[in-house]
Structure 1
Amino acid sequence: MKKILLLSFLALIASTSVFSQKKHDVLLTIDDKPIYAKEFEAIYKKNLDLVQDEEQKSIDGYLKLFIDYKLKVAEGYAQGLDQKETYIGDFSRYEEQLSRNYLFEGKVTSDMVEEAYSRSLEQINASHILITCGWDAFPQDTLAAYNKIKTLRERALKGEDFATLAKNNSEDPGGKQNGGELGYFSVFDMVYPFENAAYNTPVGEISEIVRTQFGYHIIKVNERRKTHPPIVVSHIMIVDRKDSTNFNAEERINEIYGLLKQGESFEELAKKYSDDRNTALNGGRLRPFTKGELKAQSFEDTAFSLQNPGDISEPIKTKFGWHIIRLEEKMDMPPLDEVREKFERKIKDGDRAKVIVSTVNDKIKHKFGFQGYGYLPFFQNFVTDSILKKRWTYEPLSPKENKTLFTIGDKDYHYNDFAAYLAKRQNTIRPYRDKITVIKMLYDEYETMSLKNFYRENLEKENPEYASIINEYRDGLLIFEVMEKNVWGKAKEDTLAQQRYFENHRQDYQWKERIKGAIYRTSNKDDLNQVMDLLKENKTGDEIKKLLNTENVKVLVTSGTFQTGANELPAGYQLKVGQSKIFEENGSFTIVEGTELLPPGPMEFEEVKGRVLTDYQNLLEKEWMEQLRNKYTVEVNQKTLKKIKKELGS
């Protein structure tokens, strides 16, 4: 999490473009390494509105931030942290992910997005028959599987019942039980070849034979319907904490449900009681979603069962806790522009990517030049069947034998390179029965990988936007490593130093005045008067709930210790022992029964060790930055700085 937060913060101080500066553009140097004016100007203009400290909005104030950032980067390189395995691994993964956005540009992606969007507006109910046949099946087995599915298709076309054919012949385990029925599905739910066949087959008809990684299929389309549009719901969630001593989660959600039935505000109850703090302050409102998007099936089913805006569900249990759901809005299907980015991500991450990869490979070959020299005759003899058992080893080829496999641009790739890839990759592939299938598959992988790597190596030189983003991440990741080593990790590991810091700053860790007791809340004043009468009889909170919450929920009781200003306490309440006055707020009535007033006083270390750690880290960072300022020579070009101030009006 800290890494994510740091990299987000670096948007304030990281470069947004790569400039080709001249000597007179130098704003400052760090140990004679130049930092250019245009870089500073660009990020100052971009991030001025994001800076909270008014002092740092001035050129001089922002320059201090910028220099500190550059000092941390310099120290990261000085400590060799850019050579750490974690740094190299994280950077490589990001580089791979980012470069994909540039590799997959082009009309082919746009066409696929439009196709996917069109299909997303419709759901298909279909049945299928599968005859299994892997990509590595022997030729005779492949032919037998094909002939079998062909015969079944001919029988279906002549009118034999498809469900009966599926039950008696399909090799999909579920097919024998349900007649091959798949239910409703839409775009991205099935592998791409299967999806294509389903969407291209009219209702009531049988598809052509389809080949997928599972085998041969025929598909019967039973029905088509429009996709259910998104809905918006709000919810109140109570987490089922087994160690909770204040209340029982199921009991509490039923109490809240009772209050809703009595007419209390859903929004106010969500704000007051929902444990989903990301939505509570917004009345429990969730983002729009469609069927199949949520990880909690029972939540989704309940939400879509609500018919009219304002309808409220009974409490339901999910793996996240207890929920009450209210339907807010039934939406229209989003336009293409709203879902374009989402669909692009799915296309790039799914099996459609194979189509794009093929197109991109051709694009790279055309751009840089590619020449292949053949490989299969040699490698089908060089590689033994032991590769099928993941045990193939080899002796590196002599210079004479180590021929060129292919050439990209001016870079040659040799037999030994591919042999090494085969030996390494054999350990991670699924079992195959035919070594030639393995060699062909891994050659395609290796060629694609080599083309992408060659493109990526040249991308930073050719694309300024990419160079800017990758440099920003490179430095940001380095700052994380240097901060983790010199500040965060150092502080976290030194628990004795944390305790010393706590002892030396005890005045900063003080409790406000607190009250022990219980908070009683009802939806009408008469019920609260009953509560007050029972309190006079020395009834406990649990006893009061049992007496009053018989047919419906009349009172909510929250017990515990509450500090001045606690969210649970009614606005305007002054801490005191005994019964408070009645507070009316948003149609509900509340009293507080205080049993013990706890005066302001020192906190114990265990109560605030998280806060102490943060404060101690801030101190270490401050001291460390002073050391960096003394270690490195920073020289600011005053003439350039003056020019920047004039241009930016500061």
Structure 2
Amino acid sequence: DASAKENNGNLGYFTALQMVYPFEDAAYKTPPGQLSQPVRTRFGYHLIKVNNVRNAQGEIKVAHIMVRATPGMPKADSVAAKRKIDEIYARVQRKEKWEKLVVQFSEDASSSQNGGELPWFGTGRMIPSFEEAAFKLNQPDDIASPVQTPYGWHIIKLIERRGLPPYEGMETSLRNRIAKDSRSELNKAAFLKRIKTENNFREVAAAKEYILSKADSGLVRGTWKNSFGAKETAQPLFNIKDKHYPIKAFFQFAEQNQRARPNSSPAHVMNLLYDAYTEQSLLNYEKENLENKYVDYKMLVHEYRDGILLFQLMDEKVWSKALEDTVGLKAFYENNRENYKWDTRAEATILSAANPQILASAQKQMAAGLFEVRKNKPAPIAFDAGKDVITGRAKMALEELIAKLNADTSLTLRITGPLDAKEAAQKNNLAQKRAVQIQNYLTGRGIAANRIHVITNQTTNSQRTALLNLYSSDLRVLEQNLNEANALNLQASHRLFTKGENKVLDGIAWQPGTQTLEKDGRTYYIQIHQVLPPAYKKLSENRGQITSDYQAYLEKEWLNELRQRFPVKVNQAEVEKLVKK
């Protein structure tokens, strides 16, 4: 077990149905402080030492604040996420209102509007690190320090604890889990034993001795051949009711299903193949006769067949038709436009700042319209003395820059040409030529010229390196710049909002203009660019919902057609007999 190097073999606590059954069974039968006998599972052999036994912990309900940080994300983003969760935790410790912090900062969309609450869960239901931190909380409102999972960072708050649900509430779940667990092999063995009896399974002892006598070393190597005559292998090996299973059928099965078993004897391998063949034959016989044996199953199969036919008809008449009939979909939309309308919407920019000073800095940068990208800045481009030729190494750096510009179309580039002191004294526009060379290389590789700006002022540096600065109109870059010192300094967004999407925006009059206000300890700047009145949604904007409604319409029309073609007459007198008076 490779993990033993890190955990010294300590598996922690586990409960039923969390380990393979042989391992679990041995662990539960071994007293605390004792060592089990060797236990074999499909993974190998195990010696189990039981350190402690405790009662089930029941279930807990918690709330959390999450900041996303997934494995493989850039290191800078991972560090920023850790800083952000630490800042939030500091505010939690200062007793700031939990619900307010969840709404403002949690990145779990499914719980952020519900105080961060998660459904009840017990042992084995959550990521181990999350579960361990949650179950260590003792009293309601206790809060754990930030804990990391593959989804990100979490601050966990205990809401309530309760014991295990009653058996009636867990029965269905337990049955489903047991059916998928290795202990289901016990059920399978019992089932095979029962159908052997029910179907009058009869083994022919002499025939079994015969097949065992034909076992040789080829079985161990997985190369055994059925080279025996048809006459001597025509005798039945066993019978299931009135059906005979000849030796030759088993030999064909053995030849097709053998595999190398270097540590086994030929007789043992032949017995394993015989057991597999009898099991397969019993199960196949049972399947072939299920409808004759079980009337309820026969009715279920017929119902299932009818269901498939109905599904195919529904697909033909409703589902696929709605997707493929674009003319009909458009006509349905035009006839039902009143059902697809936007409420009043506002195109707005919202800045949420930790204090007025940060907000003022953000507004100043917004006025310029572009924000310098400070993270992962492009490497400067070096030139040889007195030359404006782009070197091979410089081209490699420019190719990386081109990839960035192609990946993010909001980026623009500013190029400042370089000179050393000697070159500057010559006054030959070499700096301009170097900057233009870089510009031409980029435009030649498909970067639009209007995204590149050349600074004509000559700059002097001893390395003769052209300075490349990226700028973006994306508000996320503004966030990154102002959150370098504190991950919660600024949150910025620009998009169309409807009523109910943003509580701060809902609290002001919706009319074009700007407004600054204080709410819940933060300073907000809101610019409403335009207010869009209620309007019809375009088909392209709401195709999913319109298609679903069109399918419902087609189904209704189809049913009406069927009622006309196949009138249904109800014998009301018989129906009345079924009603309990």
For residue 541 of structure 2, the aligned residue among 595, 600, 607 is 607
1:320 counterpart residue number: 151
For residue 29 of structure 2, the aligned residue among 192, 200, 203 is 200
Q: Cα offset for 1:334?
A: 4.7
Q: Distance in 2 between matches of 1:627 and 1:477?
A: 21
Instruction: List per-residue Cα deviations over 1:456-511 (Å, max 9, x = no partner).
Output: 55555666666666665554444334333443234435667656765676665443
Contact 2:208–2:237 under 8 Å retained in 1: no
1:167 counterpart residue number: none
Secondary structure of 2:193's counterpart equals helix
2:566 counterpart residue number: 634
Amino acid at match of 1:284: G
Q: Cα offset for 1:580?
A: 5.9
Q: Distance in 2 between matches of 1:472 and 1:257?
A: 57
Secondary structure of 2:133's counterpart equals helix
Amino acid at match of 1:404: P
Secondary structure of 2:125's counterpart equals coil
Identity of aligned residues (%): 32
Using structure 1 for the length normalisation, give the TM-score: 0.56
Contact 2:84–2:486 under 8 Å retained in 1: no
Shift of the 299–177 alpha-carbon distance from structure 1 to 2, 3 Å rule, reads closer
For residue 513 of structure 2, the aligned residue among 564, 572, 578 is 578
Residue range with higher mean Cα deviation, 607-616 or 500-509: 500-509
Q: Distance in 1 between matches of 2:107 and 2:7?
A: 42
Amino acid at match of 2:154: H
The aligned runs of 1:548-563 (5 Å cut-off) are 553=488, 557-563=492-498
Shift of the 342–597 alpha-carbon distance from structure 1 to 2, 3 Å rule, reads closer
Q: Distance in 1 between matches of 2:563 and 2:93?
A: 64
Shift of the 568–613 alpha-carbon distance from structure 1 to 2, 3 Å rule, reads farther
Shift of the 477–529 alpha-carbon distance from structure 1 to 2, 3 Å rule, reads farther
Q: Distance in 2 between matches of 1:389 and 1:494?
A: 60
Amino acid at match of 1:513: T
For residue 122 of structure 2, the aligned residue among 290, 304, 312 is 290
Shift of the 532–285 alpha-carbon distance from structure 1 to 2, 3 Å rule, reads closer
Shift of the 313–215 alpha-carbon distance from structure 1 to 2, 3 Å rule, reads closer
Residue range with higher mean Cα deviation, 381-390 or 470-479: 381-390
Q: Cα offset for 1:234?
A: 1.8
Higher relative contact order (CA 8 A, sep 6+): 1
Q: Distance in 2 between matches of 1:268 and 1:501?
A: 44
Instruction: List per-residue Cα deviations over 1:276-328 (Å, max 9, x = no partner).
Output: 5554565333233334332x333223323434321234455533345332122
Contact 1:203–1:221 under 8 Å retained in 2: yes
Q: Distance in 1 between matches of 2:482 and 2:286?
A: 74
Q: Distance in 2 between matches of 1:326 and 1:452?
A: 52
2:574 counterpart residue number: 643
Secondary structure of 1:480's counterpart equals helix
Instruction: List per-residue Cα deviations over 1:332-375 (Å, max 9, x = no partner).
Output: 34555544444444433333223332222222233342212246
2:459 counterpart residue number: none
Q: Distance in 2 between matches of 1:505 and 1:263?
A: 52
CA RMSD across the alignment = 5.0
Contact 2:358–2:489 under 8 Å retained in 1: no
2:132 counterpart residue number: 301
Q: Cα offset for 1:273?
A: 6.9
2:238 counterpart residue number: 406
2:555 counterpart residue number: 621
Secondary structure of 1:401's counterpart equals coil
For residue 59 of structure 2, the aligned residue among 226, 230, 233 is 230
Contact 1:531–1:544 under 8 Å retained in 2: no
Q: Distance in 2 between matches of 1:316 and 1:178?
A: 19
Contact 2:516–2:523 under 8 Å retained in 1: no
Contact 1:570–1:583 under 8 Å retained in 2: no
- Which 5+ residue runs of structure 2 have no aligned equivalent? 74-79, 368-474
Contact 1:237–1:321 under 8 Å retained in 2: yes
Secondary structure of 2:160's counterpart equals strand
Q: Distance in 1 between matches of 2:215 and 2:194?
A: 31
Shift of the 520–420 alpha-carbon distance from structure 1 to 2, 3 Å rule, reads farther
2:377 counterpart residue number: none
Shift of the 538–196 alpha-carbon distance from structure 1 to 2, 3 Å rule, reads closer
Q: Cα offset for 1:594?
A: 0.9
Contact 1:582–1:589 under 8 Å retained in 2: yes
Q: Distance in 2 between matches of 1:538 and 1:209?
A: 69
Q: Distance in 2 between matches of 1:209 and 1:565?
A: 62
Q: Distance in 2 between matches of 1:506 and 1:461?
A: 55
1:370 and 2:201 aligned: yes
Q: Distance in 1 between matches of 2:85 and 2:164?
A: 33
More helix by share: 1
Q: Distance in 1 between matches of 2:189 and 2:289?
A: 20
Shift of the 471–518 alpha-carbon distance from structure 1 to 2, 3 Å rule, reads farther
Amino acid at match of 1:289: F
Contact 1:519–1:569 under 8 Å retained in 2: no
1:597 and 2:428 aligned: no
Q: Distance in 2 between matches of 1:647 and 1:579?
A: 69
1:440 counterpart residue number: 271
Structure with the greater alpha carbon radius of gyration: 2
Q: Distance in 1 between matches of 2:201 and 2:221?
A: 33
Q: Distance in 2 between matches of 1:649 and 1:590?
A: 65
Shift of the 178–376 alpha-carbon distance from structure 1 to 2, 3 Å rule, reads farther
Contact 1:583–1:591 under 8 Å retained in 2: no
Q: Cα offset for 1:562?
A: 0.8
Instruction: List per-residue Cα deviations over 1:215-259 (Å, max 9, x = no partner).
Output: 6655544444445443321224455699xxxxx977876776566
Residue range with higher mean Cα deviation, 186-195 or 388-397: 388-397
2:189 counterpart residue number: 358
Using structure 2 for the length normalisation, give the TM-score: 0.61
Q: Distance in 2 between matches of 1:646 and 1:272?
A: 62
Q: Distance in 2 between matches of 1:176 and 1:298?
A: 19
